[in-house]
Amino acid sequence: MGHIEEIYQAVVGGNVDAASEGVQKAVDAQTDADEILNKAMVPAMDLVGEKFGEGEYFIPQVLWSAKAMQAGMEILRPLFAEDQKMDKGSIVIGTSKGDIHDIGKNLVAMMLEGAGFKIVDLGVDVDPARFVETAEQEGSAVIAVSALLTTTMPAMKEVVSLVRERRLGTKVVIGGAPVDQGFCDEIGADAYGTDAVDAVKKIRSLLGV
Amino acid sequence: MKKSLLDLVEERTVFFDGAMGTMLMARGLESGGIPEQLNADHPERVQEIHRLYYEAGADVVHTNTFGGSPIKLAGLGAGERMADLNARGARIAREVCPEGKFVAGDIGPTGKMMAPLGDVTSEQLEEAFESQAEALLSGGADFISIETMFSLEEALSAVEGARRAGAPLVVAAVTFQKTPKGYFTVMGDTPEKSVSEFEAAGVDVIATNCTLGSGDMIELTSKLRGLTQKPILVQPNAGKPFSREGRTFYEQTPEEFARDCVEIRKAGADMIGGCCGTDDRFIREIVAAVKK
């Protein structure tokens, strides 16, 4: 089994130690960091996403795979040159103002990280202005807002309004149990993810990466 | 001596209450904030909801302490008020509980993942739930009801905590999603595993609530009935929530919900109540429909 295949299997299987060992071996064998990322780890997380979508994987399996991916990334990160664009862009993420439920948000953040995005996690109960200001400072391509409570959904609309007011190119992606496409359309958000895997998919297609 | 919940269930279907959050929001609960803080700041509002549920025919109401675990409250900067808010929550319900009816001390998830995936250990969870259960029992809860657990492991920690606190009876619920491959918690626990581990842990009433609407709960109830001889409590959501023009709606009407509850009863549930989106109208309809 080649290094790439070994890393791929380790990430799919959520084997943290095997993933970092595999990446280290690949690096020692002069394998290109880009290749390790894009031929092994990213496709592995794609498969994990599919398995989650099909009900074969559950949250624990997804999180172990994301941890394995992160372990590999620790080794790779210093190898990417400054000018080389490893990150697909940064994403500001948090729960809607008034909402402290962050399990879904954390899962989406981990999946996005696994897909190679840089995450700026603002945590819970995030003020709409803070989302937008942070995205402006970080030059983030996407703001991702999660809500579990229906009462905190209006704050999502505020995020969209602020982004439009300031004429930022930042996309706003929303998610959470009470959120649906109808609500997304109503508030003019750019996309809505049904679950963590769908969120990654929607963000990739919004950004064309 | 007072009749226990288990005596009552021998005689007839037992009715639980509906949602607390839905009722609070309908009364203008500020978005955000700490729902349990209302037990101290506006006990009359919480009590009014309990009273409405008892009047609608509920035999049992849940205290307004779903998010009252020390871990969850600490995350909101209210950790030091834990014992007080839980004891008050129980007292508020106790004060309006008619004779022969019950107060269930409500325990919900902490929102934390357990180690090694997350950062809390089962020992920390057990200790946290034990202190919450102690406060609930000291305030007058008749027993402990563990709800909406998306992780069986965390639910079992809560059962252990409740037992250590001396709960005379423990109701324990995990919440299942319906997938093409069957019913699972988001952590991947099956009904089979959940029931067998709950039984091994000495849970008195096997329960499920939230996530699913009443339609899907019919099938899940049959499944649970096939797995246990213990009493079963089922509390469905009123369908899926959706928001239009800043208002929240649920798919199901009280009448539709009650029709499904008759089927849930036939499928083997001994106790029925409502979860998200249900209010006193739903409970009134269920009681009327099931008794018919």
Q: How far is CA A196 from CA A38, A177, A192, A202, B50, in A?
A: 20, 11, 11, 10, 37
Q: CB A150 to CB B244 under 8 A?
A: no
Residue to substitute from B23, B30, B31, interface A, most A β-carbons within 10 A: B31
**What residues form DSSP beta bridges with B62?**
B104
Query: Does a structural domain hold residue B99?
Result: yes
Task: Give the pLDDT of residue A104.
Answer: 83
CATH 3.40.50.280 fits A90-207, yes or no: yes
DSSP letter assigned to residue B213 = E
Q: Is the ipTM of this complex over 0.85?
A: no
Percent of chain B beyond pLDDT 70? 96
How confident is the model at residue B209, as a pLDDT?
96
What whole-number distance in Å separates Cα of residue A166 and Cα of residue B183?
45
Residue type, B77: G
In whole angstroms, what is the distance from residue A150 CA to residue B32 CA? 10
Span B173-195, average pLDDT: 95
**Structural domain of B102:** 5-209
* Confidence at residue B125, expressed as pLDDT on a 0 to 100 scale: 98
Mutate to test the interface with B, among A99, A110, A150 (most CBs of B within 10 A): A150
Q: What is the pLDDT of residues B188-203, one digit of tens each?
A: 999 999 999 999 999 9
Looking at the structure of chain B, the number of domains it has is 1
The residue assigned the tokens 């229906």 is A150
Amino acid at A14: G
Given a cut of 80, is residue B32 above it in pLDDT? no
Name the pLDDT band for A149 (thresholds 50, 70, 90): confident
Predicted pLDDT at B230: 98
Collect all residues of chain A within an 8 Å Cβ-Cβ radius of residue B186: 58-59
Please state which of the four CATH numbers 1.10.10.60, 1.10.1240.10, 3.40.50.10420, 3.40.50.300 is assigned to the domain occupying A3-79.
1.10.1240.10
In a domain, B68, yes or no: yes
Q: Is residue B218 part of a domain?
A: no
- A18 CB contacts (<8 Å, ≥6 apart)? A6, A9, A10, A68
Contact A59 B186 (CB under 8 A): yes
Q: pTM for the whole thing?
A: 0.88
Q: What is the DSSP letter of B238?
A: S
Q: Tell me the average pLDDT of chain B.
A: 93
Residue of B nearest to A63 (CA): B117
Peptide bond into A154 cis (omega under 30): no
Q: Would you call B181 an interface residue with chain A, using a CB distance cutoff of 8 Å?
A: yes
What is the DSSP secondary-structure string of A169-207? --EEEEESTT--HHHHHHHT-SEEESSHHHHHHHHHHHH
CATH of the domain at B127: 3.20.20.330
A83 pLDDT band, cuts 50/70/90, is: very low
Q: Which of B148, B149, B143, B175 is nearest to B162 (CA)?
A: B143
Whether B233 and B207 have beta carbons less than 8 Å apart is answered as: yes
pLDDT at B127 over 80: yes
Q: Where in chain A is the domain with CATH 3.40.50.280?
A: 90-207
Q: What is the pLDDT of residues B65-93, one digit of tens each?
A: 999 999 989 987 899 999 999 999 999 99
Q: What's the CA gap between B137 and B86, in Å, rounded?
A: 9
Residues of chain A with CATH 1.10.1240.10: 3-79
Q: Chain B contact for A177, CB < 8 A?
A: yes
